[in-house]
A and B are shown apart, each in its own frame.
Chain A
């Protein structure tokens, strides 16, 4: 089974802090994704990466950056955390050229971030 591991289940940070969310997958997947999930808004794509050192903006990249130095690891960075970034953050990975074309996304269990 594919395993996508997010390093923290819960995080509490202060406004203005730099925050790192880490994600590791163990299936040698090319594609990795960061989503946030909010009640009433569903899952929204922040950034994705289809190869090491490659990244693409999703629907809501503002206030975030990402890093993919190794194939198995994809980090989400909040440069200066704000209260409107309080959310559930979900990492996902998939194989193949396209997320939906060849394999479905496999998700981690999420990191619930609270910014105070």
Chain B
């Protein structure tokens, strides 16, 4: 939404630098994690996902790292571009609980400085 970025942690990055966005999750039984990107005025858009049997997964310019020991997830964006400016959400799912639901983090606002 237009004002989804209010009250959120903000990360400012120079264009061309790498960005690292962090997320702490709460449920040690969660076994599937997703990163979403939400631009102003749009719905969240899927970026990349990872299952708990992996600790790293790479996509195009993005890498997700999972540390189950400390329940931490991070999204790395290489060579950050102005179009990467958005709010980024992590989400977790405990598929073993038969859950259809994703639990979302509050989000981090990424601002790219040209």
Contacts and interface: CB of A to CB of B under 8 A. Distances in A.
B89 A42 contact: yes
Given A100-B32, A100-B95, A107 B7 contact: no
Interface stretch (B12-20, B58-66, B101-109): B101-109
Q: How large is the interface on A (under 10, 10 to 19, 20 to 34, 35 or more residues)?
A: 20 to 34
A58 B106 CA distance: 18
Most A CB within 10 A of own CB, among B32, B91, B100: B100
Given A39-B4, A88-B4, A45 B41 contact: no
A112 B104 CA distance: 20
Interface string B35-73: 010000111111001000000000000000000000000
B82 interface: no
A34 interface: no
B34 to A, nearest CB: 5
Contact of B46 (A42, A45, A101, A104): A104
Pairs A-B, 5 closest by C-beta atoms: A100-B93, A107-B43, A88-B1, A101-B95, A100-B32
Interface of B: 1-4, 6-7, 32, 34, 36, 41-46, 49, 89, 91-93, 95, 98-102, 104-107
Given A105-B34, A107-B43, A108-B43, 8 more contacts: A42-B104, A42-B105, A88-B1, A100-B91, A104-B49, A106-B46, A109-B41, A110-B1
